[in-house]
Amino acid sequence: MNKNTDDLLKIIKNQFNLEEDDLGVLRREFDEFYLSFSSNGPLKLVEEKESPAPSYWIVTPKSSHDKIILFFHGGGFNMGSTHGHQDLCQRLSKHTGYSVFSVDYRLAPENPFPAAVEDCIRSYLWLLDEGFKAHDIVISGISAGGNLALSTIIALKKIEEELPLCLVCMSPAVDLTFPVVYNHLKDVKDWINHERLEKVKELYLQEQSPFNPLASPIYGDLDGFPPLMLQAGSRELLLCDINRFKGLAVQKDVKVNLEVWQDMFHCWQIFYSHLPGADEPVRSIGEFIKEISGEVPQK
């Protein structure tokens, strides 16, 4: 790994005190830290007052008004917001030409599982009720938000609702049983560790089963899933689980594009200004969506 990446990992690891008693302080620090890596690109952020969960439209100068990315932020289910992820949303809009609709789903521990999943499902159904077409909607999420994107599809399939054009999941947490002894993997060099993952599970599930497919989508029915892009870093703690999910999806004939970016770590797409070429993963997401939508010929 290059020196910039090593230095950044040290900064991230030292940034958050998970023992902080004031959860409000921890959440504010998390958002502001993420925003400190902003690309400062042009965006317009507008609150949607009619949606079932607090939500925001993020658009850039060439955003379509008809094509939507329904976005779920990261933060381990107990932190994160549109505010902290607005730069990533701006870059998604820039490279896809879609407007981004970002949901501030309810957070744990105040609102444990399945509150966040319910907010995400209702947000998708609200977009359909507002007249947006399923084939003009992409569902995307990062980290915990990637988990919620996959869980939303599993729930929509169960109620036989029309599914979106495709899915894009960045560093998704696909299995909350966390079955791999990650600390023994020689290639792992990440800013999250097994202890942090166990804390995430404890706060979010609060003794509910991690085998529930809406908590761990890897245990869900993947038949009929829409085309899926997965992005992970080669040094990422969750890479083994993401690889397992890809394998199961392929067995069900799901179109899956897994990108493993060399020397990258969990949610590296956020840290745009510190990592040379860090916008390339988002550019690749744009190319994937345009290919699936038929805007460009398939490779």
Q: Are 101 and 69 in contact (CB under 8 A)?
A: yes
Does the pTM surpass 0.85? The reply is yes
Query: Strands 68-72 and 137-142: what pairing?
Result: parallel
- Give the mean pLDDT of 33-40: 91
Report which of residues 180 and 145 the model is more confident about. Answer: 145
User: Quick check: is 151 catalytic?
Assistant: no
Average pLDDT, the chain: 92
Q: Which of 15-29, 133-147, 211-225 has the lowest mean pLDDT?
A: 15-29
Confidence of residue 39 (pLDDT cuts 50, 70, 90): confident
List of residues 6+ apart from 295 with CB closer than 8 A? none
Among candidate residues 140, 51, 64, the one with its CA nearest the CA of residue 98: 64
User: Quick check: is 143 catalytic?
Assistant: yes
* Dihedral pair phi/psi, residue 256, rounded to 5°: -125, 130
pLDDT value at residue 260 = 96
Q: Is the pLDDT of residue 278 over 80?
A: no
Q: How far is CA 31 from the centre of its chain?
A: 15
How far apart CA 115 and CA 110 sit, in angstroms, is 10
Q: For residue 84, what are its two tokens? A: 């902290």
Q: Which of 102, 151, 171, 236 is catalytic?
A: 236
Number of C-alpha atoms within 13 angstroms, CB side, residue 160?
A: 0
Q: Which of 140, 143, 151, 293 is catalytic?
A: 143
